[in-house]
Structure 1
Amino acid sequence: MSIHSHSHSHSCASSAAASAKPPFRFDVVGSYLRPEALKKAREQFAAGRLTQAELTQVEDEEIRRLVAKQKELGLKAVTDGEFRRSYWHLDFFWGFDGIEHVMMEQGYLFHGEETRADSARLTGKIRYTGHPFIAHYRFLKETAGEEVIARQTIPAPAQLLAELVRGVNALEVERIYPDREELYRDIAAAYRAAILAFYEEGCRNLQLDDCTWGMLCDPSFWSAMAGVGYDPAGLQALYLRLNNEAIAGLPDDLTVTTHVCRGNYHSTWATSGGYEPVAETLLGGENVSAYYLEYDTDRAGGFEPLARVSDGKRVVLGLISSKTGELEDKNAIIARIREAERYLSSDRLCLSPQCGFASTEEGNILTEDEQWRKLELVKEIAEEVWGE
């Protein structure tokens, strides 16, 4: 740390304290494009040509490099890029007792593309008795050091429920949890235990990634998932309850946020529709301190729902697209931030890409250079708009 920045940090300690908690004006959602060396190592591991220890060594190396790059860029919260995962959500689910890795007949149908067909299915009651992600977090925390926040991203409890009842998976739910209430209690309890284990490792910033709300905004997608005659209001209430129960009564110095998107797989998307249908439940009722909201295309609708954000919670506007390498027009983005300020005051707004750059290991269709240029643009705009 240079002398200059050190003395500077003292002089504005009081204002720094106010902005020392995430989200930050210049922020990220969390996943990054997998470097070539990592992709190659994972292929070799899958083919049985690398041991787990050798793969872990490559992962460690690439995560160290990624963290250094994020710090150099000036991010106050860094992630491990989800470099040890294949999926943003499934790898986490597979870490619980009572859940197995299965292959479905087909993957999720995205706009113009079908995802790989992996899924998570019940084999018994859901329990937390330890989880591989805890050691992954420990490594990130050590690598990040003290001057930045090591952020942990995990899929939301609602997302786990949505996966467990998807297609034929639902049959196992019927068999193992004839009493659905017990299932909901077990999901919340397993999540709480996992979150507290991250906390014990020093985690103070946890992000719940949650596509369920995006699905609920899109009647056509949801009827395909849930069948005709489903009750969207009932589902909203259930998702809210699951997420809130999982994060109830956590330590005060743990900041929990959520990220809501409409699917992000190899630069394609799954759902569209504005936030209106879920604004009251999600933005008014979920007990997180901030929302990372997809807003990079008109598929996300207008900013009016931001008026429903309750209790001084903050919103990170995902106005920069992680799906394409083309750089946005700075003035157009600033104009959109000004538009959002009509519904939520400027001091409660931040900026980030609308999603990670690689929700699955395939990654979106842009280069690593383009990925970093996008983040430089977010930073530049944030400094211009908020002066920080």
Structure 2
Amino acid sequence: MHLNPPFRADHIGSLLRPSALFEKRQQLEDKKCTLEDVRALEDDAIKRVVELQRQVGIKSITDGELRREMFFENVFDRLEGMTFIPNRPIHTFKPYIPHQAFMYAAGMQEAPTIYCTGKIKRTRSFYVDEFKYTKSLVPPEEVKNIKVTICSPSWFHQRHGSDMTYDLSVYNNDDEYFNDLATAYRAEFQELYYLGCRRIQIDDPTFCYFCNENMISGMEGAGVDHEALLDTYIRAINLCTEGRPDDLTVSVHMCRGNFKGGVHFSEGGYQRIALKVFNTLDVDVFYLEYDTERAGDLTPLKHFPLDKVAVLGFVTTKNPKLESVEEIKARVNEAVGIMSDGNPKRSKEVALNQLCISTQCGFASVWQGNPLTEEDEKNKLALLVNTAKEIWDD
């Protein structure tokens, strides 16, 4: 592992759609236009959000995920061996998974998903073309600042479990399934790296689900070994990140849901998983959601190792209320105190060097986005930049 702090002020990746693209997406939803009509507006919209990030001083650049309807698109649906099922019966979705409990509560009888029907192969890229376009919008010296976000390899497995994620005549067990999936992820990472990408963020709400006591009790009631499954998901990511170049920074973002209108699905502090996940997940950076009491307190940071970076999501994307500089500075100081007295102990200077600040999640994990305006979004990003300057003299 290598300690390579990202930018002191950062954001998770997705941004609000500019009005023209938002309106066109709504027309698509209402069946008043085609997907090609939407695609025609995306390039200009991405130019706009890249410029927004540069204007407010956010050095980390993303394309805002503007080409996606939902944050996890363009991975599993682009893999050979994966089949889209538009109306899979609801009983094949695990009811103890927090966001799926909502589906059951709503009385849904079926839902769309992706099922593994053949050996997994990466026959085309996930985000290479998207990276190339974003790369064309920034000066050559800033290409290394572009961050590519990608959903976790566990995304569909957590929906359906070890018994209904893949055809058992194709894969005998989870290890075989995740081995081939990791091969595809590593190939994507390698191609992105070759093109100049130096920052990849894995978005994984699943880890926070293991902090949810209702899910844990539901799994126990269903006879599922949740500790073994947590180990499986850690291994799945570690397979994806193994052998990466030293100058490729890979992070994982853990949150509790960010659906239409900023709806959350889960709650519970990191204490249940902190010791294991912080110390055995082979990533360089953890983006941690910390904008509400649902995330618990900062004490799990006492388990944070010396060779990784924690990006604390103190600024919410779920409403327009603007946090204060002093509030964020106080919480950073609290985190420094906890880490310096933790295991292992460290100086406050070392602890501070391991910290950054960010939004707790994206502004638009789905295309409809959260209940903020573009001006609200800009203000929150600027707040992060200004606060980071005061804390780190960045």
Q: State if a TM-score over 0.5 links the two structures.
A: yes
Is residue 108 from structure 1 mapped to residue 100 from structure 2 by the alignment?
yes
Q: 1:249 aligns with which of 243, 259, 264?
A: 243
- The alpha-carbon deviation at position 137 of structure 1 amounts to 1.3
Is residue 178 from structure 1 mapped to residue 163 from structure 2 by the alignment?
no
Distance 1:380 1:61 in 2: 28
Is residue 72 from structure 1 mapped to residue 55 from structure 2 by the alignment?
yes
Equivalent position amino acid for 2:205 in 1: C
- The alpha-carbon deviation at position 232 of structure 1 amounts to 1.6
1:145-193 CA-to-partner distances (Å, cap 9, x unmatched) read 3243111000122334324539xx8164434323333112111111111
Equivalent position amino acid for 2:33 in 1: R
Q: How does 1:354-373 map to 2 (within 5 A)?
A: 354-373=360-379
- The alpha-carbon deviation at position 92 of structure 1 amounts to 2.2
Gapped runs of 5+ residues in structure 2? 91-98, 340-350
Distance 1:378 1:358 in 2: 18
Aligned to 2:184: 190
Q: 1:30 aligns with which of 13, 17, 21?
A: 13
Distance 1:366 1:98 in 2: 39
Aligned to 1:97: 80
Equivalent position amino acid for 1:78 in 2: I
Distance 1:161 1:111 in 2: 17
Aligned to 1:40: 23
- The alpha-carbon deviation at position 75 of structure 1 amounts to 1.2
* Larger RCO (CA under 8 A, 6+ residues apart): 2
Aligned to 1:207: 201
Distance 1:262 1:60 in 2: 30
- The alpha-carbon deviation at position 304 of structure 1 amounts to 1.6
- The alpha-carbon deviation at position 56 of structure 1 amounts to 2.7
Equivalent position amino acid for 1:155 in 2: C
| Residue aligned with 2:22, SS | helix
Aligned to 2:358: 352
CA spacing shift, 1:222–1:93, aligned 2, 3 Å? farther
Aligned to 1:375: 381
Distance 2:239 2:53 in 1: 33
Aligned to 2:285: 290
Q: How many residues align?
A: 367
Distance 1:66 1:326 in 2: 21
Q: How does 1:232-247 map to 2 (within 5 A)?
A: 232-247=226-241
Equivalent position amino acid for 1:383 in 2: K
Is residue 165 from structure 1 mapped to residue 161 from structure 2 by the alignment?
yes
Runs of at least 4 residues off by over 4 Å: 43-46, 104-107, 109-117, 222-227
Distance 1:274 1:112 in 2: 25
Aligned 8 A contact 1:122 1:164 in 2: no
- The alpha-carbon deviation at position 48 of structure 1 amounts to 7.0
Identity in percent: 35
- The alpha-carbon deviation at position 333 of structure 1 amounts to 2.1
Aligned to 1:8: none
- TM-score between both structures, scaled by the size of structure 2: 0.86
Q: 1:81 aligns with which of 64, 67, 87?
A: 64
Aligned to 1:335: 330
Equivalent position amino acid for 1:213 in 2: F
1:110-149 CA-to-partner distances (Å, cap 9, x unmatched) read 5999799442222322111112521111111111332431
Aligned 8 A contact 2:6 2:356 in 1: yes
- TM-score between both structures, scaled by the size of structure 1: 0.87
Is residue 61 from structure 1 mapped to residue 44 from structure 2 by the alignment?
yes
Equivalent position amino acid for 1:108 in 2: Q
Aligned 8 A contact 2:116 2:165 in 1: no
RMSD, aligned CA: 2.7
